[in-house]
Amino acid sequence: MPGMIDKQLVRERFERSLRSYAKHAVVQNRMASDLSEMVFRQCGRGPFGRVFEVGSGTGALTLELLKRCRAESYFANDIVEESRIFLEDVFERFPVGEFGFVAGDIESGGAIPECLDLVVSNATMQWLGDLEGFFRRIRSHVRPGGVLAFSTFGPMNMQEIASIEQTGLPYLSIGEITELAGKYFDIAECREEQVKLEFTTPEAVLRHIRLTGVNGVSRKTWTKGRYRQFLDCYLERFPSGEGVSLTYHPIYCCLKKENS
């Protein structure tokens, strides 16, 4: 069942998969593009004076956002310090006037820039232990009329794994997210979708999860028998075409702070 999020484990798994993430995180990469389109649709090209990205990873959202919008100052945070290298590559293609990077867990009290025009985050919020606390804190750093836009995942995300293992992240529904967010921001746009990826075997599913680093949920080790049992159960319960399927449940939200 869902439990406390081990941030040290999350950091270790993403750090290990950083080089393989961009190639294998096909859903997250598409989410970065779709979220950037939502920002562009709601806010136009800008320019945004001060932008802050939470969970910058390999720079997928950074790249997609700067393809569409202009930023004068760009600040970013990630739990893995090496993320900075990927962002510097993006800024060689899309220069900004100022770049700052803050490594560490965004919930641990690290410095957040002030007077932000835009805060963005792709496929990261599900790793936060206190989403309402984040909304409350980030609101004080966003200027009146500023925007918080993010993507995350809903309760059906990787439901195949969760149903077999009885473990997973405590995903919130789109209704629960908007209820929390609505206490601190106006809801400009929110939507959700479900995406099914197909794999030839359950082993391929597990490899996909490992190479994208999204297995930072449990340190449990499997015996050979338990591993075989998992594979057999997956094959039986989630066949698709000539293989098996894995569900993703993206949620996209664009929020605005009221003008005062």
pLDDT tens, residue by residue, 212-236: 987 655 567 789 999 999 999 999 9
Cα separation of 92 and 192, whole Å?
33
Task: Look at residue 200 in the predicted model and tell me its pLDDT.
Answer: 97
What percent of the chain clears pLDDT 70, i.e. is strictly above it?
Answer: 96
pLDDT at residue 10, as a whole number: 86
Q: Of 87-96, 142-151, 218-227, which range is least confident?
A: 218-227
Query: What sections of the chain are H helices per DSSP?
Result: 7-24, 26-43, 60-68, 83-93, 131-139, 159-165, 174-181, 202-212, 224-237
Q: Which tens digit of pLDDT belongs to each residue from 129-144?
A: 999 999 999 999 999 9
Phi/psi for 196 (5° steps) reads -110, 125
Report the percent of the chain where pLDDT is more than 90.
Answer: 81
Question: What fold is seen in the domain 7-196+247-256?
Answer: Rossmann fold (3.40.50)
> What pLDDT score was predicted for residue 19?
85
User: Looking at residue 112, what DSSP letter applies?
Assistant: -
Sign of CA dihedral 135, 136, 137, 140: positive
Q: In this predicted model, which residue has the larger pLDDT, 10 or 220?
A: 10
Is the pLDDT at 1 greater than 60, yes or no? Answer: no
In this predicted structure, the answer to whether residue 109 has a pLDDT above a threshold of 90 is no
At residue 14, what are phi and psi to the nearest 5 degrees? Answer: -70, -35
- The pLDDT value recorded for residue 6 is 84
Q: Locate the domains of the chain by residue range.
A: 7-196+247-256
